[in-house]
Amino acid sequence: MKSRIEGKVSITAQGTCLVRAISYYEKDVNYKTNDHIAPIIVPSFLNLLTKYGFYRVLLKKMFLKAPGNCEYLIARTKFIDSIFESIDDSIEQVLIFGAGFDSRAIRFKNKLAKTKIFELDAPITQQIKIDRIRGKNIEIPENLKFISIDFKKESLAKKLDEIGFDKNKKCLFLLEGLTMYLNQESIDNIFNLVNKYSGENSLIVFDYVSASMVRRENTYNDPKIKKHYQVLAKAGEKPSFMIDGYIQDFLAKYNLYVIDELDSARLAKRYFNKDDFDLIAQKFRVVMAKK
């Protein structure tokens, strides 16, 4: 059976871009992100609506039904932005897997001027992103290369070999909002490649759904959240992959070592200045690891 992303633009990529567009206009500093490109590359009517507080509340009610998801996406954006802000020249290649409407290659173009950047995504979503950027006369940095791929069906190693990818350079791999939509085989392929196709001290940043938290949350029984998951399932983009147990045990198989892992409580404290375990959806974790 064909998945949605084989025939249409990714619904979750559009959703996360909409959250960043909304958050860009938020007045509350906790809810504000700095993705000034997001409002430009969402469909024009959404660009207009996100400018008004009333419509931002309405859009969040319509599209962000699962409690704590919006806060999670905001905190995740800020965490990953902070990594890009602190990047130094030692990072020679940045690979953004499942890039969707990620705008960091544009937003951090000065910081990344000497870095090779690769964005990998499903072909239709990637093409629509390129068209939207070009359509808005935003310059695509010369050092950004687009690689279209279906991680579940195509060989990532082959795709990188075809473009003469240098396997010995220090890299930053980013998998933001991706692991949960893959399967064990494609996860193994990606994490093995991160180990084999990168120089020493390369970094990987990713987020995942914690199986043990999902078991505890039992949120799928809440009618509103059930509806949300039904919509994603119908669109063929229901989260499927989770990680059980300690993240270091998962990473050790790929010769990777955890530097930092942020759960909902730490994200809430760091980005919303709140000691609140429930503010951010508890099932998500963001990880930075090193080779």
Ligand X SMILES: C[S@@+](CC[C@H](N)C(=O)[O-])C[C@H]1O[C@@H](n2cnc3c(N)ncnc32)[C@H](O)[C@@H]1O
Binding site for ligand X (CB under 6 A): 5, 10, 12-13, 16-17, 98-102, 121-122, 125, 149-152, 176-178, 181
Q: Identify which of residues 84 and 151 has a Cβ nearer to ligand X in the complex.
A: 151
- Residue 200: CB minimum distance to ligand X, A: 26
- Residue 17: CB minimum distance to ligand X, A: 6
Sign of the dihedral defined by the CA atoms of residues 191, 167, 81, 47, in that order: negative
- Residue 158: CB minimum distance to ligand X, A: 14
Is 28 in a helix, a strand, or coil? coil
User: Do 188 and 222 form a contact (C-beta atoms < 8 A)?
Assistant: no
Q: Identify which of residues 42 and 178 has a Cβ nearer to ligand X in the complex.
A: 178
Neighbours of 78 (CB within 10 A): 19
- Residue 227: CB minimum distance to ligand X, A: 18
**Integer Cα distance of 255 and 251 in angstroms:** 7
Residues in contact with 132: Cβ distance below 8 Å, sequence separation at least 6, in sequence order: 41, 101
Sign of the dihedral defined by the CA atoms of residues 122, 82, 14, 72, in that order: positive
Q: Identify which of residues 71 and 102 has a Cβ nearer to ligand X in the complex.
A: 102
Is 43 in a helix, a strand, or coil? coil
Q: Identify which of residues 181 and 272 has a Cβ nearer to ligand X in the complex.
A: 181
Please report which helix (H) or strand (E) contains residue 124, including its range.
Answer: helix 123-135
Q: Identify which of residues 122 and 281 has a Cβ nearer to ligand X in the complex.
A: 122
Q: Identify which of residues 10 and 219 has a Cβ nearer to ligand X in the complex.
A: 10
* Helix axes 11-25 and 69-85, enclosed angle (nearest 10): 80
- Residue 164: CB minimum distance to ligand X, A: 21
**Integer Cα distance of 214 and 173 in angstroms:** 26
- Residue 13: CB minimum distance to ligand X, A: 3
**Integer Cα distance of 59 and 267 in angstroms:** 23
**Structure token pair of residue 67:** 């409690």
Q: Identify which of residues 17 and 70 has a Cβ nearer to ligand X in the complex.
A: 17
Our separate counts of H helices and E strands in the chain read 14, 7
- Residue 124: CB minimum distance to ligand X, A: 8
C-beta nearest to ligand X: residue:
100
**Integer Cα distance of 289 and 285 in angstroms:** 13
Q: Identify which of residues 30 and 189 has a Cβ nearer to ligand X in the complex.
A: 189
- Residue 255: CB minimum distance to ligand X, A: 24
In sequence order, the β-bridge partners of residue 118 are 95, 145
**Integer Cα distance of 125 and 13 in angstroms:** 8
